[in-house]
Structures are given as structure tokens and as C-alpha cells.
Structure 1
Amino acid sequence: MEDKPITPSPNLPNSNAAPEEDKSLMHIWGGVPLQGQVNISGAKNSALVIMAGALLCPDDCRIQNVPSLVDVNRMGQILSALGVKVERKGDALHMNARHLHHSKAPYELVSQLRASFFVIGPLLARLGVARVPLPGGCAIGARPVDLHVRGLQAMGADVHIDHGTVHASVKGTNRRLQGARIYLDYPSVGATETLMMAATLADGETTIENAAQEPEVVDLANFCRAMGARIRGAGTNTIIISGVPRLHSTDYSIIPDRIEAGTFLVAGAITRSDLSLFPVVPDHLTAVIAKLRAIGLHITAETPNRLRITPGEHHIATDIETLPYPGFPTDMQAQFMALLTLSEGDSVITETVFENRLRHVAELNRMGADIRVKGNHAIIRGVPRLSGAPVVATDLRASAALVLAALAAEGKTTIQGLHHLDRGYEDLGGKLLKLGAKLQRVDDPEADAPVIQTVAPGQV
């Protein structure tokens, strides 16, 4: 396969398309059991930050197991605009930041991708200056960058925000950040990753206390270590980074996506199906598996990196509170809400991570769910069945929740807002088709509709 620059993929909607231009639809006919094995793609949230981390190295880097997603395309375009050579070959990205020459990230791309703010740390570390517009992404909460800014200031950077852009620079002859002791008021994944990357090339030792412990933080630390960084404590609440003068070339493979794996576990649960997932890291799914078992599902580890879900006799209500890792992930909240709408009894979901992440409630209620919202709590009373309806996805994980609800609902559901889905799931519709789902994606509803695709249950 020939190397090619990162451009909008022909298999994805235009990654520069504004949401209002998105005309794609997904029709799902529910009530069809699923069966077979689904292959889990590389972790989106690891891929994006590791791509930014490649800015730290002036040599060739090869990153494997990179999912084909709109967000990955956007990040590739942002890095290319900064002077980085980015080419895709299969599931691998070949990157070279030797000629990193721009310190300003382009607003028109950054405004569409929250993870683009990650580049501020590597840019400061490499160039001593960075200008990054305040980020965009899903409208699920404010997600301020103050923790990033205060941490960079503690490392000696002059940081100010002017006209929507964060300006950061390091004074002095060598323009290098200085090691510091940083306490995060909240264990923010983004702040932890930004500051960890910035510290890899700083003078002296940096300690990040109350650090995020997510598997994606560990993955980034392992990637940086593979380039020669000195990092210890990743995966705990205290990370210590000893700065080095330079990083070197590496070949690195990204971990499986725990949120995609969790989504397919819920797909098996909500359709009462027997599914196998590979590859996965079961330890990354501890909280998700515990809640599925509490609801009544059977989860077994067939091998160290393969999970199987089989249905139980009854689905019973359970309460969920989202928390930083190793607590229950906010990125699985919407999917579990879909499952709990069909579980016996009353459940309460408490969202503590993002303040605006319950907008999918109205769409699930359109399908016959019985959900009430009070503040950051959703009270779900289980119903015997859901009914197909036209619904609109409001963010990435909400779109997955609507797909799951549609798989279990009676009749046909039509989902709009697939640009959200394409940001974070690699060919979710295609994978479900190969498991036996009955669905149809129409990327231009004004064109002639294609024949409904069906694939016999089996391997994905």
C-alpha cells in the first residue's frame, strides 16, 4: 500500500464539513439478535494525544493501530499545518516533525477538535513558543483549559489568552521550560497529558500531583518512554518526569479502545446476544464489566485479550455515578442509559464529570423510554420495550447510545447527526452489519437510497 498524506478520507464524511452540512442518516430495524466476533480498533483518545506527542521528536515515528476517524484526520491536518510530515499506510501513521516550523495552530481546524489543544505542550517544549486557539469539539461541557495554563506557567511559561487564542512563550537564551511541582485541582486527563509532554524536554524534574490515571495517560507515557523520555508513576496519581535534551525515533502500537469495547458489550447486552470482543484489555473495563454483571449479564475472559458477553435471564436496574478513572467512565454513561431503559426497576445515573451530558435523554424518551432529569441526575424507570422513531444525535457518545437503543427497539429508527458518530467510532455501522444487524446508512438522503445491506452473522 502506498504512503499517502493525511487528507479527508474517501470513506468518511468531509472532515472539514460543518455540522449543519451533515445530511447523513442511519436507518436501523431493531429486534435482530447479533452474533459473532467484533474486532476492536485502536483507542481514539490515545491516538489523538500520541499524534500530538510525536511533535516532541525530530525523527521519524511510526504509530500503529491508529483508527480511521474524522478526528484523526483533523489532527493530522493540524499537524501538517505546523510543518509535520504525516502519512498513513494501512493502520499506521508515519510522522516526522523535523521541520516543525509553525508555532500557531490553524483556528479553522482547532475549533472543530477539542484534542487539538494537546499541541501546546509539545510546541512549547520544542520551539519555546506556541499559539493555539481555544478548542472546540462536542458541546458536552465547558472543559476549561485553566489547569493546562497554570501548569505551564509553573514551568516558567508566559501564558495569556487574547482574542480566543492562547499565547505561550518561554523566555531565556535556551527557551526551555523548567521542571516544577504541579498540583492539579482536578485529575484532568487533558491537563495531565499536556503537562507530561511539556515536561519531557524541560530542564530538571517535574512532578504532577493529583494526576489523571486513565489508560490513555499510561499509553502516552509509554509512547514518550519509547522515544527516550524519563517518566515514572503514570497510572498513579503522581507522575514524575525527568527532562531529557532530545527524544528519538520509535515504532509504537496504540492500545485497544476501551470505550468502543464497552459500547459493543452494551450492544450485546441490549440485544440479548452472544458476542466476542478482540483485542481488549479487560483491566481497562473493570467498572463497565462490574455494572454489566450487576444488571445481570455474563462476562467471561476467554483469553487475556478476548471478552465474551452472554445474556442473563433478567436485566435489573442499577445506579451509576461517573467518575475519573478507575471509576465509571463518563464516555459510557449514555450507552448504559440506553440499556437501563429496558431493565426492570428504577435506576439513577449521576453525571459528575461534564455538566451538559444528558441531552440524549429527550431522544431516548422519543423512543418510549421513561427518563426524568433533575440537575445532574437522570432517573430511569425501566419499560418493557422501545419503539423506533426519528432521533438526532447530540454528541459522540449520545450517537452511540441511540444506535444501541435502535438495535433493541421495535420497528425502524432513523438517526441524524452521524458526524458525531464518525468522530469516534471506526465503521460502527459496518461492524454491526457483520454481526447480523439490519441497518442502512445513507450519506446523501436526496440521492437514490441503496439496497439495505445484510451480512450473515460471523467474523468482523
Structure 2
Amino acid sequence: MDSIRVTGGNRLNGSIPISGAKNAALPLMIASILSPETLTLENVPRLTDVQKLAQILNNLGIDVTIAGKRPGQGEGYARTMRLNAANIVDTTAPYELVSQMRASFWVLGPLLARCGKARVSLPGGCAIGTRPVDMHLMGLEKLGAEIELDSGYVNASAPNGLTGTTIHFDKVSVGATHNVLMAASMAKGTTVLENAACEPEIGDVARCLAAMGAKIEGIDTNTLVIEGAQTMHGTTHTVLPDRIETGTYAMAVAMAGGDVMLENARADLLQSALDVLVEAGAKVEASDKGIRVSRNGNGIKPVNVETAPHPGFPTDLQAQLMALMTRAEGVSTITESIFENRFMHVQELARLGADIKLDGDTATITGVQRMKGAPVMATDLRASVSLIIAGLAAEGQTTVNRVYHLDRGFERIEEKLGNCGAQIERLSA
């Protein structure tokens, strides 16, 4: 099993290309189920989650090619993916596939809308909380689906198709919004989604669905009005840049010091996080080329942050900010309001010398003058990258184990940081 070794102390200078957003690419791939014509996606990141989902879709009968290559035909660095669902041969997504990646549960809505039936395994829990699917099922039932739970599977049918209605989500849910939005794109009549999640990735998917034939109003707001299409057609869509990768590298620069241009990044996608970085002492300049982040000379200032749905501070940047605050000149607090059990990186940061105290959903971080490298263990995707950020400023070597989590969401992280002067390398077991 691979690990990544970081030797701290080097400043970061140069440029880092920001990849396409994983959290948009996955539902965009799933949206291909809705049309018998080819959906072409550009700027798709090369991640293990993307590869796994391609295998899951292929299992349903969807032909997936990446720059002319099918999965397993060679790595390459191609970024254009073509998905053709002309012949869906199976409407079952089995446990052994869904259990590998939670987002694959989102095939439920599109399969139901296109084929009138679906059998999809419940995804179960995960390392950062239970994240139940009750709102997914409620939304689909409101559209007219008949749903039964049987032996860990969702059996759903809509023999007469889905019918538009008004659906109110009791709690903001990115996954439920994606699932129901895609299903509603082929429902008869008008569907209104109230209290929908309005993350930029949902807007990206909605724009693609509109290009495929659905009529959608209220994109990028918490109320979506969808006029379903009888049939959806193919289109070409470019995946928006990854705001979480952008924020992660911005915090890495703030931690290590230096001056880096984050190429193709868009400030409007993560303004709340950039505001926090400025408060912490970094300089942030947005342009049509991307976002330039620098910190030269001044120390890191403490901040108080609570995670919130977009446009608030993203939960997916909470661990990275905590790593940065371990070196702040004072006391910071971070309250995690989205997911329970998302503080597992705390004990690993403590191994490097961080001073962090937990009280329920709030972490109090007292900045320390120095940290020392040590072997640490990645527990999930965002936690693992927080350990790399901490390692950039720790004395000596930090070895992050179980980095398969990293490969789910960060494309060639050691190459991108290494090109800016970080002393970082991947160690193969």
C-alpha cells in the first residue's frame, strides 16, 4: 500500500493547475444514464473514484471511453470522457460495487426515470458519519416511484413513469438533490425542489441537464423548478474547476509560505473559504487566469469558523483549515455542523505536536511554534490531505500511510506540490 513522505520546511512557489471537480464529475457521469445519445465530458479529473464509477456504469451497459480508451487500457493523462447509454443491459447496482463508492447510489434516480425500475444497494455508513438516504427515497416517492427495502437493497419501480410535484427537503442534502434533480429531468410536468442544496457542483450538473433537454429554472439557488423532458439527448459539457482542490492548495501555500498561482481556479466557487484565508494572514488575488495565493513574512492568524452548506465554509475544507491553524499565533475554533465524526484527523495531527481539544462538534486549536514529523495514518480523503499540509511545516519527515484515500480526490498531488518546491514523494509498498 502506497504512502507519501513529506520533508517539511520548504516554501511553495510556482503554479498549480486545478483539476475538474470530482464532486461534479461523478454526478455528471451518472447523468449519462438519462440519454441514449453520447454525453461528452471535458476536464474530467483522473481519480480512483472516477475509475470506479466508470466500472459501475459499464456494468449497467454504458459504454465509457476516455480519449478513445476504455477503462484499463492504459493510464495516460486524457481528460475527455464519452459515455453512451444506448443499451442499458442491467438496472441493478450491486452491493459489492456501491459499497466501494457512496456516490454510485445516485444511479437510482436516473435508472428509475429512464428504465422505469432500479435495484440499488443501500450504501451503508462511512467513516465520516451515517449520511442516511431517507431524503433520496422521499423525493423519488413524491415523484411517483414505488419503493421497497429488501435485504439491503432499494427496489424501485415507476411503470407509468415519474410525475412532477413539489418536494421540500427537511435538511439540505447534496446527494438527495443530485438524485432527485436527475430523476425529475425526465418526469412528466413540473417538479419544484425546495430547500435544495445549491453547491456549485449541483449548478454544474443542472446546466448539463438543461443542455440535454430538461428546462431548469433557479440554478445556483435553493429552489429548482424542473420541466421534465420526454427524451434527453447528448451534449458536450466541461466540468467546472474543483473548489475543494483549490482551497486545499491555497491552505498549503498559507501553511508553508510562498507564492503560487492556482491556474483555472474560480474565486466565486469558494469565496467564504478565501475570506477565511485572508483573515488568517494570506494574500489572495483573483484574476481570469486563476487565484494567486501568497504568504510572505507575516505569521498565521487564528480564526473561528463553523462549517455550513454553500455559500458557507465547506465541510470538505475543515480538516485542511485545522491543519493550518495548528501553527496560528493564538487560539482558533472550528465547529463541524455538517457531518458527525469528522474529526478523526485530530489524533493524527496530535502525533505531529498539534494542540487540539475537542468538545462535541467544536475543536479548539492552540497554535504551536513547531511541529515534528512522524508516521501518521489517513482516515478519510480530506483528513489525509490535512496531514500533508501539516507535514509541509513540520520539522523532519512526515509519512502519511493509507494514501489510497488521497487518490480518490486529488490528482497527482505529489507532482503538483513537488513542482512548487515541496519535498514530497510517493513510496510504493
TM-score class, shorter-chain normalisation, is over 0.9
Could you tell me how far 1:137 is from its partner in structure 2? 7.8
Matched, 1:56 2:34: yes
Cα distance in structure 2, aligned partners of 1:379 and 1:387:
20
Candidates 133, 154, 157, aligned match of 1:166: 154
Cα distance in structure 1, aligned partners of 2:202 and 2:53:
18
Could you tell me how far 1:370 is from its partner in structure 2? 0.1
1:114-263 correspondence to structure 2 within 5 Å: 114-135=102-123, 138-171=126-159, 175-263=160-248
After the TM superposition, which of the residue ranges 331-340 and 305-314 deviates more from structure 2? Answer: 305-314
Candidates 108, 120, 139, aligned match of 2:96: 108
Candidates 72, 81, 84, aligned match of 2:59: 81
Could you tell me how far 1:106 is from its partner in structure 2? 2.6
CA contact (8 A) 1:81 1:106 kept: no
Matched, 1:309 2:293: yes
Alpha-carbon distance change, 373 to 347 in structure 1, aligned in 2, over 3 angstroms: same
Letter in structure 2 aligned against 1:55: I
Letter in structure 2 aligned against 1:58: P
Could you tell me how far 1:304 is from its partner in structure 2? 2.4
What are structure 2's unaligned runs of at least 5 residues? Answer: 68-77
Letter in structure 2 aligned against 1:141: G
Cα distance in structure 2, aligned partners of 1:388 and 1:431:
21
> What is residue 442 of structure 1 aligned with on the other side?
427
3-state DSSP of counterpart to 1:252? strand
3-state DSSP of counterpart to 1:309? strand
- Note the alpha carbon deviations across 1:154-178, whole angstroms, 9 max, x for none: 111011221111111113xxx3101
Alpha-carbon distance change, 211 to 264 in structure 1, aligned in 2, over 3 angstroms: same
Cα distance in structure 2, aligned partners of 1:76 and 1:443:
25
1:258-337 correspondence to structure 2 within 5 Å: 258-301=243-286, 303-311=287-295, 313-337=298-322
Could you tell me how far 1:136 is from its partner in structure 2? 5.5
Could you tell me how far 1:382 is from its partner in structure 2? 0.5
> What is residue 3 of structure 1 aligned with on the other side?
none
Q: Give every structure 1 segment of 4 or more consecutive aligned residues whose post-TM-superposition deviation is greater than 4 Å.
A: none
Cα distance in structure 2, aligned partners of 1:123 and 1:296:
48
> What is residue 74 of structure 2 aligned with on the other side?
none
Quick one: percent identity of the two aligned structures?
A: 48
What are structure 1's unaligned runs of at least 5 residues? Answer: 1-22, 445-460
Letter in structure 2 aligned against 1:245: Q
Could you tell me how far 1:314 is from its partner in structure 2? 2.3
Letter in structure 1 aligned against 2:55: Q
Candidates 83, 89, 96, aligned match of 1:95: 83
Candidates 13, 21, 24, aligned match of 1:35: 13
Cα distance in structure 2, aligned partners of 1:56 and 1:206:
17
Letter in structure 2 aligned against 1:117: F
3-state DSSP of counterpart to 1:58? coil
Cα distance in structure 1, aligned partners of 2:140 and 2:389:
41
> What is residue 10 of structure 1 aligned with on the other side?
none
Could you tell me how far 1:244 is from its partner in structure 2? 1.1
After the TM superposition, which of the residue ranges 43-52 and 310-319 deviates more from structure 2? Answer: 310-319
Candidates 387, 390, 393, aligned match of 1:408: 393
TM-score, with length taken from structure 1 = 0.90
Cα distance in structure 1, aligned partners of 2:213 and 2:285:
37
> What is residue 47 of structure 1 aligned with on the other side?
25
Could you tell me how far 1:101 is from its partner in structure 2? 2.1
3-state DSSP of counterpart to 1:440? strand
> What is residue 47 of structure 2 aligned with on the other side?
69
Matched, 1:25 2:6: no
3-state DSSP of counterpart to 1:394? coil
TM-score, with length taken from structure 2 = 0.96
> What is residue 17 of structure 1 aligned with on the other side?
none
> What is residue 370 of structure 2 aligned with on the other side?
385
After the TM superposition, which of the residue ranges 291-300 and 136-145 deviates more from structure 2? Answer: 136-145
Cα distance in structure 1, aligned partners of 2:424 and 2:253:
16
Could you tell me how far 1:249 is from its partner in structure 2? 1.4
Could you tell me how far 1:305 is from its partner in structure 2? 4.2
Cα distance in structure 2, aligned partners of 1:138 and 1:66:
25
Could you tell me how far 1:327 is from its partner in structure 2? 0.5
